[in-house]
Homo-oligomer: A and B are copies of this chain.
Amino acid sequence: MVSIREVGPRDGLQNEAPVPTDAKVRLLDALSATGVRRIEAVSFVHPKAIPQMADADEVWKRARRAEGVRYSALVPNLRGADRALAAGFTELEVVVSASDTHNRRNVNRSTEDSLTDITALIQAVHAAGGTVEVIVATSFGCPYEGDVAPARVAGIVERVLGDGADRVAFGDTTGMGTPRRVRELLAAVDQVRGAAPVLLHFHNTRGTGLANILTALELGVTEFDASVGGLGGCPYAPGASGNVATEEVVHMLHDMGIDTGIDLERLLEAAALAEKMTGRELPSGVLRAGPRTRLTAQ
């Protein structure tokens, strides 16, 4: 069993041209009906910084939440955490970049300063009964600094787990991940993570998305982010393309006999919906060609 977290509604749509609230609710509802167990639903960020998520409260209020699905929200800071908790979320995510330059370009402060903020955020969220996942961006490389030492990422993991973080995730923010980098990162992180699960988030910028996931699977990782239709990218990172497409991940895993709980046909319907609402051809081979089991009439 592999646990996929669907990030299209948040990470995906946040990095596309804005779509109407109605469409976001429809996409969330379609995804909730696929059998996926985890969905990153919205982010509570400042509407001036990210207008795509200005209607997060309304989207979440109107979404039909499915039994057995864990919904999470991304928050940039304490104020966002308060909004997420008030909206009823208990699973919160916060991002910090392993690369100092990327962190400064993203939130105008050093990695160290962000980590200090995160310490306080974890305490506040825990006090309110929620959990916090720390997502380490640029874990596989930084578009400004180049390679990021796995030891640096491991140091961040050690610190945030010490601060009480409930989970850690690793973002391949601009698609610099490769099988080699996956191996090297996991080796370093395994030294410090204790029993904390690892979730990996890949972009398919350079074609290595599924190769990275395959490598991580062989090393025992069982949690992955993916974005329906390959929605999204990264607005702060030049040259970034979309997240790995959920249906491509599920298609490969199911063929390997690995269950995800997801109905691929329903997922493809959601991907078609996502494509329609963005108005652009999404980078998903399985959406385009169909699963390998879909035969052509002779």
Contact = CB atoms under 8 A, between A and B. Distances in A.
B206 A289 contact: yes
Contacts of A208: 210, 248, 252
Interface in A220-274: 237-241, 244-245, 248, 251-252, 255-257
* Oligomeric state, in copies: 2
A145 interface: yes
A191 interface: no
A144 B205 contact: no
A146 B257 contact: no
A289 B205 contact: yes
Interface stretch (A28-36, A62-70, A75-83, A172-180): A172-180
A295 B237 CA distance: 11
Interface residues of A, number: 50
Nearest to A237: B296
Interface string A103-141: 001000000000000000000000000000000000001
18 contacts: A101-B298, A146-B295, A176-B292, A179-B256, A180-B256, A181-B255, A205-B285, A206-B251, A206-B285, A207-B248, A207-B286, A208-B248, A210-B210, A211-B214, A214-B214, A214-B215, A241-B285, A241-B289
Interface of A: 101, 105, 141, 143-146, 174-176, 178-181, 204-211, 213-215, 237-241, 244-245, 248, 251-252, 255-257, 284-286, 288-293, 295-296, 298
